[in-house]
Amino acid sequence: MRKIALLLITGTLALATWQCDTPVKGTVITGELENASNIQVFLDHVVIGKASNVLAKTDIDGSGKFQFEFPEGIPAGIYQLRLGAKRVNLAMDGTEKVVKISGDLSTIQNYTFTVTGSPNSQSLIGIMSGLFQRQVSADDIATYVDTVSNPELGAFVAYRSLGASGQFLDTQKKALAKLDPGSETGQEYAKFISSVERQYQSQMADQLIKVGQPAPDITLPSPNGKEYSLSDLKGKVVLLDFWASWCGPCRRENPNVVKVYDKYKGQGFTVFSVSLDGLDSRTSSRFGNEETARQYLDNQKQRWVEAISQDNLKWEYHVSDLRKWESAPAATYGVRSIPRTFLIDREGNIAAVNLRGAEQIERELQKLL
């Protein structure tokens, strides 16, 4: 990668000496931030998979203003502003002259600030603010990668938003394909994707239940004692969901499952929930007599029933053997953490595993309906 020749003009040069009607040579980056007086600001160059490289630093004055000047211009790439403990990114295409940043330091990390003079940075702020507000799905990221004009920006957004999740490797690979394979970013991003792919393949190899295999049957009682079998639902698309009332991530995920159920229940989709509530042998051994253990188990069952009601899990297929981590279906399906889901097609075969979030569940579900 060509060396970047940059000249830092520190905060000792008063901002007032720079006039808007003065011809600009190179690139000027100015900022005016509320709640940001008398701290230092750093500008780093960012390459996916590597530590950031400090390019410049200056002081923010008492009125929240700062300025960087790069007489030779600033090369295309991804950059990071560090303001105290806050971090935000900018994206440049190399043609910028005057870039102006404004906002509030107290909320800047959520990408609530504004930028003028840098269309790529504006695009980055738009997608990142959507991510922080949970308004951007994995499908939106895939669309962004396909449509953004700056391939390095597309790769950076995919890297930041999708991370090391092997389920989104297709999007990451699309982003990589748009990069110059000989560039530093292209080479480092390729290394990152290769590492994610190896880890994901290893995880899949460890799964007892794999995509394409028939789903092992489960027959267990519901809270009222009625037995339900997973195999009875053959002909429907089923989300097999392992969860528990005591599992915080499960409870936070439940609204997503409900949302998908409500939308597709009339199209041959349902949910089969297996609870890992109850009492295992290790806990049971701590009780002095069977009566105490039975009372504890009754309490755990009641918590399960209450969670079903509280989370509005309106489908009828709720079952458990009330043995917690000694649950027989959990062992069969290799469940070692929850929530854990398996999407089962109409023929009773595993179609997808470990789906999280309404968008991800819905995307895989639509392939089967």
Amino acid 138: pLDDT: 86
- The residue that leads in pLDDT, 10 or 138, is 138
| pLDDT at 99 > cutoff 60 | yes
> Do 195 and 292 share a structural domain?
no
Least confident of 106-115, 120-129, 165-174, 222-231: 165-174
| pLDDT at 20 > cutoff 60 | no
> Do 335 and 290 share a structural domain?
yes
Quick check: is 352 in a domain? yes
Work out the pLDDT band at 208, boundaries 50, 70, 90: confident
The three-point CA angle 35-11-31 to 5° equals 45
> Do 291 and 157 share a structural domain?
no
| pLDDT at 12 > cutoff 80 | no
Instruction: Check which CATH number belongs to the domain holding 71 and give it.
Output: 2.60.40.180
> Do 102 and 21 share a structural domain?
yes
Instruction: Check which CATH number belongs to the domain holding 244 and give it.
Output: 3.40.30.10
Quick check: is 212 in a domain? no
> Do 362 and 238 share a structural domain?
yes
d(CA 80, CA 90): 6
Considering its fold, how many domains does the chain have in total? Answer: 3
d(CA 136, CA 316): 32
> Do 154 and 113 share a structural domain?
no
Amino acid 144: pLDDT: 95
> Do 320 and 269 share a structural domain?
yes
Helices (H), the chain: 119-132, 138-147, 151-162, 169-177, 184-206, 248-264, 281-284, 290-310, 328-332, 358-366
Amino acid 205: pLDDT: 63
Quick check: is 126 in a domain? no
As a whole number, mean pLDDT of residues 326-332 equals 91
Quick check: is 305 in a domain? yes
Amino acid 206: pLDDT: 64
Across the chain, mean pLDDT equals: 89
Q: Which residues contact 60 (CB under 8 A, 6 or more apart)?
A: 11, 31, 33, 36, 37, 38, 39, 40, 41, 66, 83
| Helix, strand, coil fractions of the chain, as percent rounded to 5 | 40, 25, 35
> Do 359 and 233 share a structural domain?
yes
Quick check: is 255 in a domain? yes
Least confident of 39-43, 188-192, 290-294, 365-369: 290-294
d(CA 143, CA 130): 14
As a whole number, mean pLDDT of residues 201-214 equals 79
Number of other residues whose CB lies within 10 A of the CB of residue 5: 10
> Do 340 and 243 share a structural domain?
yes
Quick check: is 280 in a domain? yes
> Is the CB of residue 52 less than 8 Å from the CB of residue 188?
no
Question: What is the 3-state secondary structure of 33-50?
Answer: EECCCCCEEEEEEECCCC
**CA atoms within 13 Å, Cβ hemisphere of 132:** 14
Identify the domain boundary among 206, 233, 256. 206
Amino acid 18: pLDDT: 35
Amino acid 24: pLDDT: 55
Identify the domain boundary among 72, 97, 121. 121
> Do 89 and 117 share a structural domain?
yes
Least confident of 14-23, 121-130, 149-158: 14-23
> Do 254 and 185 share a structural domain?
no
The tens digit of pLDDT for each residue in 106-115 reads 999 999 999 9
- The residue that leads in pLDDT, 37 or 214, is 214
| pLDDT at 13 > cutoff 80 | no
Quick check: is 214 in a domain? no
Amino acid 134: pLDDT: 81
Least confident of 91-100, 115-124, 282-291, 334-343: 282-291
Domain range for 117 is 15-121
The tens digit of pLDDT for each residue in 23-37 reads 557 999 999 999 998
Work out the pLDDT band at 290, boundaries 50, 70, 90: confident
Least confident of 117-131, 216-230, 234-248, 279-293: 279-293
Identify the domain boundary among 173, 206, 239. 206
Least confident of 5-14, 99-108, 117-126, 320-329: 5-14
> Do 359 and 226 share a structural domain?
yes
Amino acid 10: pLDDT: 30
Quick check: is 132 in a domain? no
> Is the CB of residue 287 less than 8 Å from the CB of residue 313?
no
Percentage of the chain surpassing pLDDT 70?
Answer: 92
